[in-house]
Structure 1
Amino acid sequence: MQNIDREVIEKAKQAALEVLLHNAHGPYHGLPRTAGWGYPEPYTRDLMFSILGIAASGNELLMESIRSVLENLAHNQTKHGHIPSLVHDKDDRGASDTTPLFLLGVGVFRKVSGNPEFLQDAVEKALDWMDYQSPSDRNLVAQQPTSDWRDEQWTIGYGLYVNALVHCYLRLLGKHEKADSIRHDMSRFTVTGGVMHHHVHEGLVVKYKPYYAFWSYKIYSSERFDLLGNSLAILSGIASPSRAVEMISWIEEECAGMRERGELAVDLPPNFFPFIKPEDPDWHGRYAEYNRPGEYHNGGIWPFVCGVYVAALVAAKKYKLAAEKLVVLTHCIQLSGSGREFGFNEWIKAQDGKPMGQDWQTWSAALYLYAAKCVEEKSTLFFDEIP
């Protein structure tokens, strides 16, 4: 890494911290904002992901802010253990990823605070809730369409991302036997072209490809690539070291091909590819307005997801590539739709690299800090202890 890159990264880290401190107090009970101006609400999933960067920063004010978020989520938890989608609104329910993200967040906070019993009652209730999300009454949990962070994209049944989160929190909470079962079930070769045999349980491995499927349920599945889910699979140890290396090579080769075809203008992977197009059977009419190819959840480049990918590269010991991608990510977060020096925008359009959505996004800033810390220390904080 050149000195000029190090200087820009240090400047970006300070800017990220400024974003997080600015967003630490919002208009809803003093809880953090999801973005500097556009999203004043405290969205659970955004703030739970931000714990990784906040914990890596070591900033006491931010740690107290995130403690308040966790305590409010526990207070607003339903009687069955479900965690709401908005921290302050106990009636805003229905997300498939908020409860596993809460458990992940508590796991990280416990490690940083040294308090292994933090919110134990709420944790037990949340674990019970997650147990009931498995239709087969085994290990993999299922979800409804548009119920995870992709609120404009269909994921049906056993989604990779949510199940990777389950594996993450089980590891962080020390529940390794159950985590081993999740890993085992996810590794079954069942995505085989529409044939479901009764003696084979659902899984998420795609035959002849190194990555895990987007989702799978009985005879239906999607083999499109989910960057966040697969990065979490590498980070938490679902993917073996050899599979992780093979997967990363596949990602980089596919992205090179997209750049050659004019589908990708930035040297970072889209959150999802190949893009869903109007002629594809998994296209939905609403996508034409809200989820076009190369945009938003249908292949947009999300800085927070790329931060997790950089961490996954470190986990796979691809240190040089991780440093290179961090530099590219740094230049991307400098882009701004509002003219600010560092935009930390919500997402970036794949085909032209234009920053889109709200700027000063909390999770964009937080996961940048986390990625930078991982590259600096050649270690994946909070995950490097996972067996």
Structure 2
Amino acid sequence: MTSAPEIPLHAQRNRFDPPDDLLQLREQPLTKIDLPWGGSAWLATRYADIRVVFSDATKFSNSPEGRPFGDLNGSRSGFLLGYDPPDHTRLRRMLTPEFTVRRIRRLQPRIETIVNDHLDALEQAGPPADLVSGFALPVPSLVICELLGVPYEDRAEFQQYASIRLDMTLEMAQRTAAIEASRRYMAKLVAKHRADPGDDMIGMLIRDHGDELDDTELTGVADLLLLAGHETTSNMLALGTLLLLRNPDQLAEVRAGRLVDEAIEEMLRYLSIVHSGIPRTAVADVELSGVKIAAGEAVICSLPAANRDPVLGEDLERFDITRKISAHMAFGHGLHHCLGAPLARMELKIAFPALLQRFPSLALAVPFEEVPFRPYSPVHGLQALPITW
């Protein structure tokens, strides 16, 4: 029997919160840490330092080439997060038009229908229920499937792949096999779209950019969008609901349709479900806040620490939807700022009030201490959320 893997400090959580040891590291600019998979990295915890790392691709590269601990995301081809300019610029330019706020607004009626359909199903089945499997996971999964052109009836297959590849408690070989299986699934789908492009995003990319994108790169882009498009939003929906249930006065505001946008931004900041994103590698010797980083050394950026940095405001350890902070880093920063941020915000803005209004007596079906959080994953979240009403 294999022992449980050591969880690096930047990926540790105490339910909603990063550990105090991590937050205390902000007292010094950067800290050298050993990584469970071998090698070491500089850990950045200050908001200002992380903005610099995320902003300057000439000094800090996203490419896995030369990274001391290799490429942890399977094949690099099409994996947008592992690209630097000019390749990143080329791919991002193709995708950006599909994720503008204006384009996403067109999806609002369909998202509202998807949300209400799943609430109907929950209500008809009756309590108790698991909000993760009954609502938080299927809603964003169906949205991203329709947007991309992925058959929703295949969800059991691709969600299983996602579950394995993001479970850091598993052996790397098992996770790599899931990455490869997921890409094989998407490659078959891309081949079908290449033969008959539809009105969805994969079809659009083939029609408008088919000569610029080969099938391998298109497969990687679509695979990443499918994974990120349902995993991040689903975990925000589940964790955000639990957070509101723990803060009933703020829940009441969202249920009444007040401060919804503010609540979502505060949830994004407070929960910071992506621990760090892709490690950066110093392109050349560089100095950051007086610390010398050698060429080839890795830098891991702690988003939860940055989002609770006192430079952003006061009392940031407290969840407060009346807070005014627009510059959080839940979606990253700079040229790799999350492409799907407008879509995620739209889904959350629709889903939270609808859920809370449908079930006025929504409550946990188990004690808070028994809610199962994910043990170790690049995306923080819940394994299940037992609810009643």
TM-score by length of 2: 0.25
Whichever of the two has the greater Rg, that structure is 2
If each structure's helix is expressed as a fraction of its own residues, which one has the higher value? 2
TM-score (norm 1): 0.25
Higher RCO, 1 vs 2 (CA within 8 Å, ≥6 residues apart) = 2
